[in-house]
Amino acid sequence: MNQLRLSPSRVNDFTNCPLLYKYRVIDQLPESPSIDAERGTLVHTILHDLFESPPQSRTIQTALDLLPSRWQAQLELKPELANLITSEKEWYDRAKSLLETYFRLENPTTFEPTYRELHLEQNLSADTYLHGYVDRLDVAPTGEVRIIDYKTGKSPKPGWEEKALFQLRVYALLYWKEHNVIPKLLQLIYLGDSNVLKNTPLESDLIATEKSLLKIAESILESMETNNWKPRKSRLCDWCSFKSICPAHN
């Protein structure tokens, strides 16, 4: 059997609903595009490309100037996205608002990112390959590592912070395994409500994350072997592309 390929997104799919994982990964069923997800892609692209400019040029105006061309490139890859936009002005205004929020939370003229869209990967076990793409990773001259992820939605409600941090702990685990350095800071920047969630991971946190991943991988492999993919109903079902064919709703 080929290695099981895991990423934070696929892990979240399985833990949220095993049947969703099957539809996406095993069956590879097509999904309708999400306007929120596409807006997130657009803003992520602009924040990535912003750092192509010299520090003094990393202004809100530079970011806004990138909007039309980056959106056009996105449309060329997915022409069907044009049908999602009922008001081009409203679409641009919302993207502009998210970018303006970023500049209130960070000043990109004052630092140089070490990596953008960094791909991290490791064999978690003989059966499981783990990987992920980090929005930004900064290494200070003194060696401290900061992992940053941009979110265009709102920050988690109290009590849900640990679930939100899981993705960055996976990245921290991968970085630690490759470089033998535990990142000093994990940082989620929420552009939807101007909040920043920060965490300093301990070695025990990363060991616990690895154990959790191995347990999830074992459950996925068992589901593959038995072809048993139980749906798990939750509020997330309202945003699921497969609700119409899900046995939990039919």
Residues 102-117 have pLDDT tens digits of 999 999 999 999 999 9
pLDDT of 20 > 80? The answer is yes
**Is residue 45 situated within a structural domain?**
yes
Residue 110 lies inside a defined structural domain of this protein: yes
Q: What φ, ψ does residue 22 adopt, rounded to 5°?
A: -60, -45
Which amino acid is residue 127, in one-letter code? D
- Model pLDDT for residues 120-132, shown as the tens digit of each residue: 999 999 999 999 9
For residues 171-208, one letter each, b for 16 or more C-beta atoms within 10 angstroms of the residue's C-beta and e for the rest, the string is bbbbbbbeeeebbbbbbbbbbeeeeebebebeeebbee
Is 32 a member of any domain?
yes
Convert the pLDDT of each residue in 156-170 to its tens digit.
Answer: 999 899 999 999 999
DSSP class per residue in 58-109: -SHHHHHHHHHHHHHHHHHH-GGGGGG-S-HHHHHHHHHHHHHHHHHH--TT
At 193 the three-state DSSP class reads coil
User: Tell me, what's the pLDDT at 5?
Assistant: 96
Torsion, CA 242, CA 6, CA 120, CA 156, rounded to 10: 50
pTM, entire model: 0.94
Q: What is the mean pLDDT of the chain?
A: 95
Q: Please tell me the least confidently modeled range out of 13-22, 37-46, 233-242.
A: 233-242
Pick from 213, 239, 225, 173: nearest CA to 14: 213
Q: Is residue 245 part of a domain?
A: no
145: domain CATH number?
Answer: 3.90.320.10
Tokens 């993207």 — which residue? 95
Expressed as residue numbers, the domain containing 177 is 1-240
Residue 208 lies in a domain: yes
The pLDDT confidence band at residue 28, using thresholds 50, 70 and 90, is very high
pLDDT digits (tens, 9 = 90+) for 172-197: 999 999 999 999 999 999 999 999 99
H and E: helices and strands count for the chain: 7, 6
Domain count, the chain: 1
* 134, 118 contact by CB (below 8 A): yes
Q: Is residue 250 part of a domain?
A: no
DSSP string, 211-245: HHHHHHHHHHHHHHHHT------SGGGGG-TTGGG
Asked, for residue 247, whether it belongs to a domain, the answer is: no
Q: Is 163 exposed, middle or buried (0-12, 13-18, 19+ CB in 10 A)?
A: exposed
Read off the pLDDT of each residue in 134-143 and give the average, rounded to a whole number: 95
Residue 249 lies in a domain: no
30: Cβ contacts below 8 Å, ≥ 6 apart: none
User: Is residue 244 pLDDT above 80, yes or no?
Assistant: yes
Residue 250 has what pLDDT? 79
Compute the distance between CA of residue 217 and CA of residue 91 in angstroms, rounded to an integer.
39
What's the mean pLDDT in 194-211? Answer: 97
